[in-house]
Structure 1
Amino acid sequence: MSTAETISPLEEGTISVQMENIFPIIKKWLYNDKEIFLRELISNGVDAIAKLRHLTVMGQAEKSDEEFKVDIKIDKEAKTLSIIDNGIGMTTEEVKKYINQVAFSSAAEFMNKFGDKNNDIIGHFGLGFYSAFTVASKVEIHTRSYQPEAEPVLWSCDGSPRFELHAGQKEGRGTEIRLYLLDEEMEFAEEARIQHLVKKYCDFLPVPITINGNVANRQKPLWERSPQEVSKEEYLEFYRYLYPFSPEPYFWIHLNVEVPFVLKGILFFPKLSHELDPAKGNIKLYCHDVYVSDHVEDFIPRFLVTLQGAIDCPDIPLNVSRSMLQNDPYVQRVSTHITKKVADRLKEIYNKDREDFLRSWQDIHSFIKVGMMEDDKFYDKVKDIVVFKSTRGDYTTIEEYLVRNPQLDKKVYYTSDEVGQAHYLELFKQQDMEVLSMNTLIDTHFIQFMEYKNHEVKFARIDSDISESLVDKDKAKIVDPKTNKTSDELIEEVFKQELAVPKLHIKVETLKSEDIPAVVLLPENARRLHEMSQFMQQAGMNEHVDSLLEEHTLIINANNPLIQSLRKLHGTMSEKDNLHLICRHVYDLAMMAHQPLRGEKLTRFLSDSNKVLQALSNKL
């Protein structure tokens, strides 16, 4: 039996004829987010304490040694949940005004405005006191004003338009909201469930929140302190508190802005397990120290969602659609500021401790590259700190590479697969030519982006072009007196006759290296289109990837002993089969650096390999 049923009412009345229609709407609207009632009621209690503190400072209320707090009491047998504060309290007239009129009008206005936008409103702020009826069959307010002569008041409502006012029995100042839980909402009578919700929504509110007498919230957020006052260990401890069992972050950014807008928070860059790992991101959004949401993708640039941490934005428009957030001036200023601070922090680490920056590069490069491609201002700030692994063994920027290699005329040679392109790499290394490693998924897009931003710089994969530095221009061309053709022309003729592959261009060069008989070159643009098509194929959008590789060039190395010996076989009928076999095998080996052989091609290659081995064994 509730307290209100034991006392004759001083007054009965109707809150509003709309009440009967609004409560079912509220319950349906908050069906998946009914837990926010606790946040709303605790916030009201904290506000009541803040008001009393202000009156005390102004000399309008008596000072007290009593500790301010919000206490939550659970009585499973009685099926009640009580939220109790020792704040300002209310008189009878204030209950009539703030509960029957203001609170109801606010809830009614809120539902009329947002009732059909449940999934599009962040936070669901504004329902306040009346959100309690989403989980309770009846709600009582036991309150007593801080004013010396004030009498206690008891307000009661069972969710119908009717309410009752009674003389209360509360002894001290403050307010208790007592909820008589519905049978299907008894999860909110579980202490563990309430502890979880307090930590989720109210962990950083500035007064103790106790559950059956035990403090359940942290109270003091680290972002409220000056960055100069916070030690490295405190930042790491705070990170471990927010994200238990996570490895230590690479770095953090302490936001502390007062003018021209208010923004506080701490953002951490976590260790990522994949190149692009937005699932790692989890920025918690707060408003006046109350948790709002961890879905901030409409609030900050997309590439920043990999960050973790918390930001408190007291001026964020809470009850607007997510689509409107992106165009809100305050949100845009916050987004721009966070982007700037991240860029500044990256540059600071690069300039002050390049070694530390380089150690982290493999884990942060994709984040930086995506940010550059999506945000021009971010690009302008960090473009000079983007580095690539060099065949010289260290990391280098593009600018540093071009300064060291002026002979390349602003061409950047790179490898996307150091294993698959090993023999191409060997050609470059033998001539002491520097090659950069661009072997991650995002580099395919980033290379084109860099060319767009820097028109004078061109990127060429090492298997798309033969640099003049690899060719021996001084080696004389030998002319065959019988045919009046150079040795290069004869070799080219041999391969064209023996291969007869459609869309294959054959070119003979005298490379400085003797080790490699031939290499296949793919035009840079065609090969990039091929790589993009591979991505589309993986997504089920393109089934004709291999066709993009049809146009290619076979570079025959005239300086290779095997190639030189083919000239002797040419024109010898008894060796025609061997000549055909060797030419085809040289071509297949060169092609395998670009794509694996499949089906009939693989079967033929294995057969040819056996024939080559057999021919060698016959000469033993």
Structure 2
Amino acid sequence: MAKTEKHAFQAEIKQLLDIVIHSLYTDKEIFIRELVSNAADACEKFRFTKSSGREVHQPEIDPKIVVTVDDKAHIVTITDTGIGMTHDELVENLGTIAHSGSKAFIKQLAEGQKADASLIGQFGVGFYSAFMVGKEVEVHSRSFQPDAQGHKWTSDGSGEYSIEPVADLPRGTKIVVKLKDEEKEFATKFRVEQVIKRYSNFIDFPIELDGTRLNTVQAIWARNKSDIKPEEYDEFYKYIGHDPEGALFRLHFTADAPLAIKALLFVPSRNFETMGLGKGESEVNLHCKKVLIQPKAKGLFPEWLRFLRGVVDSEDLPLNISR
């Protein structure tokens, strides 16, 4: 019979769990964003590993993300066919605070700064947001390595976790969130689709919900300008700008320093404030690695440029919770 190991969370992880569970209660939906983003990262790591010529388990299975809901049992499951984790990686990534991002998150909170859901993922602690809504979380994972053993990691977030070997797992990671009774809305297809389309619509890998692909729009701001046709710009503007008339002007630029930034901005062909809609607000969304971090981001541009519509994306936003 397979042996189940019991482990205590590192003290800092206990502190982190307490902060995430009790400080971000108004932004509970972001747990879906964070788990999907982690799944996309795992898919990207697998794609890189395979392309580098290394031998991988199940090379015929392409990387993708599959989400399922069970509204009767109040369970939401997020599965990726990415790089997966070994036993030691499960312990290191989920049970300890070995990576610097988590330490930075704890440090800033210890200095009295407010926990902010918009940048939790950048500190590498987004996984723990599952405990805001889950009474128990299971992680089933099998590494890409051909001879790897699969494992199941289980915790209720209270201070310890268990790991046990599991036979016949496919490559990748499956996260099963057993929802608290008061959070059962997140086991409905409508609610999960709403959150994924809001935050994760531009992720590179397919995201399927109950067999239907959700993310069908490309993040064209991340592509080379010379590869984009004018009609692609037009369609993208109509999609994000909610304006059937098209844009008057567009600006697509990339910068590498001091931050790596990609931006695609549009000037509408009409002034919406003269149409009885009142004073507008920013219509530029802030993304990190194609994931929505802050919709209608204030502070990116002066207020008089509030007519702009578009996207600003940076892969290395500063690790600063209180931005």
Cα offset, 1:183, TM superposition: 0.8
Change (3 A) 1:16 1:257: closer
One-letter amino acid of the structure 2 residue matched with residue 273 of structure 1? F
CA distance in structure 2 between the aligned counterparts of 1:104 and 1:233, rounded to whole angstroms: 43
Q: What secondary structure does 1:32 align onto? A: helix
Report the equivalent of 2:185: 187
Deviations 1:289-344 (CA, angstroms, capped at 9, x unpaired): 1111024322223322321111212232153422xxxxxxxxxxxxxxxxxxxxxx
Report the equivalent of 1:67: 62
Cα offset, 1:170, TM superposition: 4.6
Alignment of 1:112-131 (within 5 A): 112-114=107-109, 116-118=112-114, 122-125=118-121, 126=123, 127-131=125-129
One-letter amino acid of the structure 1 residue matched with residue 179 of structure 2? L
Q: What secondary structure does 1:123 align onto? A: helix
Q: What secondary structure does 1:41 align onto? A: helix
- Tell me how large the CA RMSD over aligned residues is: 2.7
Cα offset, 1:249, TM superposition: 2.7
By relative contact order (CA 8 Å, sep 6+), the higher-ranking structure is: 2
CA distance in structure 1 between the aligned counterparts of 2:105 and 2:139, rounded to whole angstroms: 22
* Unpaired runs of at least 5, structure 1: 1-6, 323-620
Deviations 1:252-295 (CA, angstroms, capped at 9, x unpaired): 21223346753222111122233696515310111111111024
Cα offset, 1:81, TM superposition: 0.8
One-letter amino acid of the structure 1 residue matched with residue 252 of structure 2? H
Q: What secondary structure does 2:82 align onto? A: coil
More deviation in 258-267 or 94-103? 258-267
* Unpaired runs of at least 5, structure 2: none
Change (3 A) 1:289 1:23: same
How many residue pairs are counted as aligned between the two chains? 316
Q: Is 1:76 aligned to residue 71 of structure 2?
A: yes
Deviations 1:223-250 (CA, angstroms, capped at 9, x unpaired): 1233333333222211221133554332
Task: Calculate the TM-score normalised by the size of structure 1.
Answer: 0.47
Change (3 A) 1:122 1:258: same
More helix by share: 1
Alignment of 1:336-485 (within 5 A): none
CA distance in structure 2 between the aligned counterparts of 1:120 and 1:64, rounded to whole angstroms: 39
Change (3 A) 1:154 1:311: same
Report the equivalent of 1:239: 237
CA distance in structure 2 between the aligned counterparts of 1:220 and 1:308, rounded to whole angstroms: 17
Native 8 Å contact 1:252 1:268 kept in 2: yes
Change (3 A) 1:103 1:66: same
Larger radius of gyration: 1
Q: Is 1:273 aligned to residue 267 of structure 2?
A: no
Identical-pair percentage = 33
Q: Is 1:301 aligned to residue 305 of structure 2?
A: no
Deviations 1:500-547 (CA, angstroms, capped at 9, x unpaired): xxxxxxxxxxxxxxxxxxxxxxxxxxxxxxxxxxxxxxxxxxxxxxxx
CA distance in structure 1 between the aligned counterparts of 2:279 and 2:115, rounded to whole angstroms: 22
More deviation in 19-28 or 180-189? 19-28
Cα offset, 1:39, TM superposition: 1.5
Report the equivalent of 1:136: 134
One-letter amino acid of the structure 2 residue matched with residue 292 of structure 1? I
CA distance in structure 2 between the aligned counterparts of 1:118 and 1:42, rounded to whole angstroms: 24
Q: What secondary structure does 1:196 align onto? A: helix
CA distance in structure 1 between the aligned counterparts of 2:217 and 2:118, rounded to whole angstroms: 23
Task: Calculate the TM-score normalised by the size of structure 2.
Answer: 0.87
Q: Is 1:251 aligned to residue 272 of structure 2?
A: no
Cα offset, 1:66, TM superposition: 1.8
Q: Is 1:15 aligned to residue 16 of structure 2?
A: no
Change (3 A) 1:211 1:60: same
